[in-house]
Structure 1
Amino acid sequence: MSIFKGAGVAIITPFREDGGINYTEFDKLTEFQIQNGTDAIIVAGTSGEASTLTHGEHLNLIRHCVRTVAGRVPVIAGTGSNCTETAVKLSVEAERAGADGVLLVSPYYNKATQNGLYQHFKTVAEAIQIPILLYNIPSRAGCNIQPETIVRLCREVENIVGVKDAGGDISQTAKLLALAEGEVDVYSGNDDQIVPVLSLGGKGVISVLSNVIPRQTHDICQLYFEEKTAESAALQLQSMKLIEALFCEVNPIPVKSALNLMGFAAGIPRMPLTELEEVNKRKLEQAMKAYGILG
C-alpha cells in the first residue's frame, strides 16, 4: 500500500528574522498546500533545510507538522542522516510523533558501499514500523543507491516501500522500475520529470514546485492517472520555465524567494545558504509573472 499517490510537497521551513522557526507561517504554508490539493506533506527534508536544524528543532518541527495537518493528508518526515544511529533516533521519534512515514536520504559524505547502504537502511527500518521511502540524490549525497539495492531493500525489508528518485537519470529510473516489477513505489524527485516518471509506472512526485503552485502540480499527476496524458504533459511543459527558475541556485534558495514574493514570510535560508542573487531574483520574478503567479 503506497503512503500516497500524486504530488507531495517538499515543504520549506520558514524562519523568523531572528533565525528561529516561524511556526505561524509554517501553518499558513501548510494550509495553502492542503487547500490546493497537495497529496502529502514532506517535512524536514532538503527543502526544509534539515541539515541546519538542530535535533531539537528537527523533531519539534515534525511534531508540529503532524498536529497541524491533523490527518488530512499523510505526513512524511525527513529523518535521514549520514550517521545510522542518528537516523534511527530521528525515525523512532518521528514515529512516536505520529508521522505516516519517513524519508531516508542516503548517507552523505561517507560514500558507503552498496552493502553499507543496505545495512544502514535495514537497521533504521528494523527500529520502526511505519513505512520508509528511500531518498536517492547522488548530486548531494556523493553516492548512488543502485536500482538493484533499492529493489532488494523493498523486497527483503517489509516497511521499506519505495524511493524518491532525484538522480535525474531517466534511464536508471526505467531500469529500477523494470527490475521492481511493481514492488517499489517510485516518486520523481525532479519536477521536470514528473510525467516521464509517471509514464514508466511511478506513483507521483515529491516536489519543490508544489510549494509555489500546489494545485497545478497535483493536477499534473491527477490528469495522468485519469488517462488524460496530453493535458498532463501540457501542464508539465507549461511549468518548465518556472521550474528552471526555481533551480537557478541551489534549492531551497529560489523557492524561499518565490514564496516571499507571493506574500508569505518564508524568511531567508540558514547559512551557509544565502539569499537569492539579484540577477536570479529578476529571472525568478519574470518566470512567475509569465506563469501568472505574480501580476
Structure 2
Amino acid sequence: MNKTLELTGIIGYPITPFSDVTGAVNILQLQGIIDGLISSGSSAIAALGSAGEGAYLNTAEWEETALATIHHVADRVPVIIGISELTTPDAVARAVFADKAGVKAVMVSPMSYYKLSEDEIFAHYQAISDAISVPIMVYNNPSTSGIDMSPEFMCKMVNSITNVTMVKESSGDIRRMHQLHMLSNGTLPFYNGCNYLALEAINAGAKGWCSAAPILIGDLPKQLFDSIKSGDNNKARNLFYQQITFLEFIVKQGLAASIKVGLKLQGTDVGSPRLPLKDLPAREHVALRRILVDLGRFN
C-alpha cells in the first residue's frame, strides 16, 4: 500500500469542457486547460472535482475524462482524480478504475441523500482503501456533499485507514485547519479548498492550495503561495488583496459556471455547465469581465 505521495503548492483543478453542439466532453479543450494549469505552476492536477463537474458525468464520460487527464499529463506532475458517489460500490468501482489507469491519488467526497453516521462514512473510506493501492485524500466540502466531517473524525480516519493520508478542507472555517494541525502535531498533510481563505490557510500550515483559479488568472496563485512560504509577508498580503475579489466571486457564483464564463470572455468557449447548473446571468458576466480586466487577464 502506498502512503508516500507528497503534494505541495498549487493543485490545479481543470473544469470539464463540453461541446455546445453535442454535449460531449471536449478532450482537446481539456488538454489545453491542463497545459495551462501546468504552465502556471500547478504542482499537481486534480480532475473531476466540484470544478470539474465530476458528479454530473455519466460513467463513460467520467472514465473518458479521467483517462484523458492521466494520459495527457503524462507524469509531468501527479494526477489526482475526484470521486463523489452516493453508493460505496460505485465509489469503489471508480477508485479501482482510476488506480488501474495510473492515477497517483484519489480524492473522495462522500455524498449523502440520507444523513450518514461517522461509522457509515468510515466504512465507505475503508472499502475504497481496501480496493486500491494509491493514497486517498479526504475531501470535506459540506456545501456540495451534504456531509460535514469534523477534524477529529478526519484525523481518526488518517490514523486508522491504511491509504487515507491527507485532507482537503473546504468548509470555509479556518479554525478547522488549525485543529487539523494541532490534533496531528503538525504531521497531517492538509490542503486548502476554500479559495478566499488562501492567505490564512497557507499561514495555518496548509501544504497546498486546491484551486481552479489559475485557469483564468495564471500564476498569481502560485506567486501568493510562494511568497507566503518564503516569508515575504508584505508581498503575500499584496498578492492576496489583488486576487481576493476574484476568489470570492468564483466561490459565490459557482466554480464551474464562473470559470467557463471567464474562459469565454477570454476567447475560449468551453460550453455551458451540465444541467441543472446554468450559465451565470449576464450582469455577472459584466462583473467578471471587470475583475479580469483589473487583474490584467482579459484578452
TM-score, length basis structure 1:
0.96
Runs of 5+ consecutive residues of structure 1 not aligned to the other structure: none
User: 1:70-111: per-residue Cα shift (whole Å, max 9, x none)?
Assistant: 000110001231211111000000011111100001223232
The residue identity in structure 2 corresponding to 1:267 is G
Residues 107 and 117 in structure 1, CA contact (< 8 A), matched pair in contact too: no
Runs of 5+ consecutive residues of structure 2 not aligned to the other structure: none
What is the deviation of 1:14? 0.4
Question: Aligned pair in 2 of structure 1 residues 284, 224: CA closer, same or farther (>3 Å)?
Answer: same
Partner of 1:42: 46
Cα distance in structure 2, aligned partners of 1:39 and 1:229 = 22
Out of 2, 5, 11, the position equivalent to 2:8 is 5
Identity %: 26
Out of 222, 230, 237, the position equivalent to 2:234 is 230
Q: Does 1:54 align with 2:93?
A: no
User: 1:143-190: per-residue Cα shift (whole Å, max 9, x none)?
Assistant: 211111110111112321111110001112211221122332111111
What is the deviation of 1:245? 2.4
Q: Does 1:124 align with 2:132?
A: no
Partner of 1:294: 298
Residues 114 and 146 in structure 1, CA contact (< 8 A), matched pair in contact too: no
Out of 263, 268, 273, the position equivalent to 1:264 is 268
SS at 1:42 equivalent: strand
Residues 16 and 30 in structure 2, CA contact (< 8 A), matched pair in contact too: yes
Out of 148, 151, 175, the position equivalent to 2:152 is 148
Residue pairs, 1:198-237, within 5 angstroms: 198-237=202-241
The residue identity in structure 2 corresponding to 1:178 is M
User: 1:189-212: per-residue Cα shift (whole Å, max 9, x none)?
Assistant: 111111211111110111121221
SS at 1:212 equivalent: helix
Partner of 1:64: 68
The residue identity in structure 2 corresponding to 1:61 is T
Residue pairs, 1:96-175, within 5 angstroms: 96-175=100-179
Q: Does 1:16 align with 2:40?
A: no
What is the deviation of 1:2? 4.4
User: 1:216-257: per-residue Cα shift (whole Å, max 9, x none)?
Assistant: 112211222222233223211210111122234223111110
Cα distance in structure 2, aligned partners of 1:104 and 1:41 = 15
Question: Aligned pair in 2 of structure 1 residues 157, 214: CA closer, same or farther (>3 Å)?
Answer: farther
Cα distance in structure 2, aligned partners of 1:118 and 1:159 = 12
Cα distance in structure 1, aligned partners of 2:112 and 2:276 = 17
The residue identity in structure 1 corresponding to 2:10 is A
What is the deviation of 1:112? 0.8
What is the deviation of 1:56? 1.3
Out of 14, 25, 33, the position equivalent to 2:29 is 25
Partner of 1:243: 247
What is the deviation of 1:261? 1.2
User: 1:25-53: per-residue Cα shift (whole Å, max 9, x none)?
Assistant: 11111111111211111101111111211
Q: Does 1:82 align with 2:86?
A: yes
TM-score, length basis structure 2:
0.95
- Alignment RMSD, CA only? 1.4
SS at 2:16 equivalent: coil
Cα distance in structure 1, aligned partners of 2:251 and 2:44 = 22
Cα distance in structure 1, aligned partners of 2:270 and 2:244 = 23
Partner of 1:274: 278
The residue identity in structure 2 corresponding to 1:13 is T
SS at 1:125 equivalent: helix
Residues 143 and 171 in structure 2, CA contact (< 8 A), matched pair in contact too: yes
